[in-house]
Amino acid sequence: MLTRRSSGILLHVTSLPGPYGIGTIGRGAFEFLDFLQAAGQSCWQILPCGPVSAAFDNSPYMSLSAFAGNQLLIDPEQLVEDGLLSRGQLPSPPRFSEYLVDFDQVRAFNQEFMDVAFKEFVSAGGAPEFNAFCNDEVWLGDHAFFMALREKFVSSPWVAWPNGLPCRDSAVVCHWREELKARILFHKFAQYCFAGQWRKLRDHAHGRGIRLVGDLPIYVAFDSADVWAHQDCFLLDRRTGMPTHVAGVPPDYFSDDGQRWGNPIFRWKTGKIFNGSLLAWWRERFARVHSLVDAVRIDHFRGFEAYWQIPANEETAINGKWTAGPGLAFFAGMKDVIGDMQIIAEDLGVITPEVVALRDSLGYPGMKVLQFAFDSGSGNAYLPHNYETNNCVVYTGTHDNDTTLGWYLSDKSSSVARDMALRYANSRGERIHWDFIRLAYASVAALAMVPLQDVLGFGSDCRMNIPGTARGNWRWRCAARFLTAATAEALREEAACYNRLPSYPEKGDAG
């Protein structure tokens, strides 16, 4: 449960500034944490940081692993500082865009310096810490093997791999483990580098009084190490390996056809009892998340109460049906691994009294999004005067929304909603993004979270994702020159005005 008033910024790691074409967990992330401290913020919320695939438009919500880190976030400068690369071995980066991630270009450059670092690491005989890391991370073997196989078979999905591999025939698996042992070792090394850099990032965050808020998608991608290695945990055709049903949501605010995400559905039960293999997988997943972040938003929380199950042969989400989820008993079984990690329930969309009851029985804060507040009169649940408790997180918008300025200027926003927003915020619209920030900060919500695009007053060209579209998302980056001391001071003044400043550390304190 949230009690203390605080505020934070929503920005994915990939959107950070830096010279390598994509935000990394190196210097740019450290400097952003310093900016957050100067701005009087308490939290940095990020999107999922798993490995992404070009086949899914590099979406962080369709990761190749629910456990691994994204190799593209590894910072080459940190590899030099850690002695894994010499300065002379670091390749010169191509001319990257400051404003958009070109994932193909970034992937090629990243692979170049990671291959050099791995070669040097192997030549030096490895390290005892690496061996301990490989032994401790139980998910790592399946992930590294899966990634090596994807390389071998040119990113084809695992169901299309040669006979024996899709069903994990033991003799075939043994053959390919030996055949690909060098590349398997490389992918373990990449995760070792990610883990070391993430540890430093989290330490720096804590030294600046900043809590890291992660994002845990309820579902995983079909073409992932998780589904391939744990096929009994998902509703798959036992003959073809393909999903029999997939996930999504019915028609809503974002789409008249609903959203057909395509993720396989969990096999929650075997007969009348919980699927023990799936529960073990979820326990490992929560433990992993707890080791990386201080709090986590569970994306599509309502799926634990009931989920939209779509026959896999349907092209849209319209003909799905609601199916009962695992409910309260599931979270009771996870309580010890969740521990003191704060959970935020993403409870947007079609929410029933049963979903609210599950959320409230667990004490998890829900989400309030101001962009949803102005289209249905004074009783709208997202209007701040209707918040029934402070145990909630208010957002001006999320990664799935337009920016606030973009929303205000868009012809998709009704004149009724715009007029209501102006009246409610006592605004003339010239700085509607800051007016929304003040509404969020002034609310009773314990935590106010603002996308960086709204802090900076950016338009629709800077939004992160358009739900229901398959290409061109997840690419936005913030250039370093926009993260100014004046902007930090303006945010700090608002946080102070609405009693959201952290009690420790004060501005200027060392970490």
- Catalytic residue positions, numbered: 299, 346, 400
Cβ–Cβ < 8 Å for 217, 226: no
Q: Are strands 245-249 and 306-311 parallel, antiparallel or unpaired?
A: antiparallel
> For residue 457, what are its two tokens?
């007053």
Spatial CA neighbour of 431 closest among 411, 455, 463:
455
Q: Between the CA of residue 194 and those of 18, 26, 69, 191, what are the distances in Å?
A: 17, 10, 6, 5
> For residue 239, what are its two tokens?
């003959």
- Three-class SS of residue 289? helix
Spatial CA neighbour of 459 closest among 399, 408, 409, 405:
405
Q: Which residues contact 112 (CB under 8 A, 6 or more apart)?
A: 91
Spatial CA neighbour of 224 closest among 264, 259, 256, 188:
264
> For residue 508, what are its two tokens?
């200027």
The answer for 394, left when phi > 0, alpha when psi is -120 to 50, beta otherwise, is: beta
Cβ–Cβ < 8 Å for 94, 105: yes
Peptide bond into 76 cis (omega under 30): no
Spatial CA neighbour of 381 closest among 396, 362, 367, 400:
367
Spatial CA neighbour of 444 closest among 392, 497, 369:
392
The answer for 499, left when phi > 0, alpha when psi is -120 to 50, beta otherwise, is: left
Determine how many CB atoms are found less than 10 A away from the CB of residue 95.
6
Q: Between the CA of residue 250 and those of 243, 357, 470, 477, 484, what are the distances in Å?
A: 19, 21, 18, 31, 42
- Three-class SS of residue 301? helix
- HEC string of 67-113 equals CCCCHHHCCHHHHHHCCCCCHHHCCCCCCCCCCECCHHHHHHHHHHH
Q: What does the DSSP 8-state code read for residue 445? A: -
d(CA 221, CA 435): 38
